[in-house]
């Protein structure tokens, strides 16, 4: 079973003050760290969707063998980046684990839980003390539906809810909080 990783790193980081892909923490850019988390969990290929600051990310980030694609509509929200990433995957995997770049507390152990659950029919999302979060697992059977419904910053949220995504507790191996502003950093 080939399980791809999809890193959503296209946003402008309006509340953060700069694109979050370019935030450095612990000596590495978030885009590099998140790409490594997906790779270390066994995701192949890893697709990175860029948008705001794409040229600077390409110039500064070491993304090794990741497939880098650009979302020209990045300003419309995460939904367009999700659609761009799924289109880039085409037939290269039976399932995909989706991770936004602004969840630096998610580690490979959490992603590995989703890799282990993967199938073309799978649909699952992380939960942290009962609250939904990332990563998200989307089996190939759901890609068309997710693509059709992903809009704005909601991404696949409505699709996951209406199609009964399985909640996978991850609070024991990760911190799933989105980092929206510099003061949100641990």
Is the pLDDT at 35 greater than 90, yes or no?
A: yes
Is the pLDDT at 92 greater than 90, yes or no?
A: no
Is the pLDDT at 184 greater than 80, yes or no?
A: no
Angle 80-85-88 from CA coordinates, rounded to 5°: 125
Residue 39 pLDDT grade (very low, low, confident, very high; cuts 50, 70, 90)? very high
Residues with Cβ within 8 Å of 78's Cβ and at least 6 positions away in sequence, in order, are 8, 11, 100, 150, 152, 153, 154, 155
In the chain, the DSSP E strands lie at 3-9, 24-25, 28-29, 46-50, 67-70, 95-100, 123-128, 131-139, 166-169
Residue-wise pLDDT for 98-150, tens only, equals: 999 999 999 999 999 999 999 999 999 999 999 999 999 999 999 999 999 99
Across 11-15, 22-26, 162-166, 173-177, which has the greatest mean pLDDT?
A: 162-166
Is the pLDDT at 151 greater than 90, yes or no?
A: no
Residue 186 pLDDT grade (very low, low, confident, very high; cuts 50, 70, 90)? low
Distance CA 7, CA 48 (A): 5
pTM score, whole prediction: 0.96
Residue-range domains of the chain with CATH: 3-184 (3.90.550.10)
């Amino acid at each position: 079973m080939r399980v791809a990783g999809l890193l959503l790193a296209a946003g402008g980081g309006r509340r953060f003050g700069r694109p979050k892909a370019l935030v450095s923490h612990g000596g590495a850019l978030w885009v590099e760290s998140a790409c490594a988390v997906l790779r270390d969990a066994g995701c192949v290929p890893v697709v990175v969707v860029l948008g705001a600051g794409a040229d600077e990310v390409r110039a500064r980030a070491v993304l090794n063998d990741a497939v880098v694609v650009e979302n020209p509509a990045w300003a419309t929200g995460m939904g367009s980046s999700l659609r761009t990433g799924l289109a880039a995957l085409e037939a290269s995997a039976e399932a995909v684990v989706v991770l936004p770049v602004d969840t630096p507390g998610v580690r490979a152990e959490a992603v590995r839980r989703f890799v282990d659950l993967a199938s073309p029919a799978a649909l699952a999302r992380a939960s942290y003390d009962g609250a939904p979060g990332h990563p998200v697992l989307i089996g190939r059977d759901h890609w068309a539906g997710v693509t059709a419904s992903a809009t704005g910053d909601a991404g696949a949220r409505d699709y996951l809810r209406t199609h009964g995504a399985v909640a996978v507790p991850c609070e024991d191996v990760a911190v799933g909080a989105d980092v929206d502003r510099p003061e949100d950093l641990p």
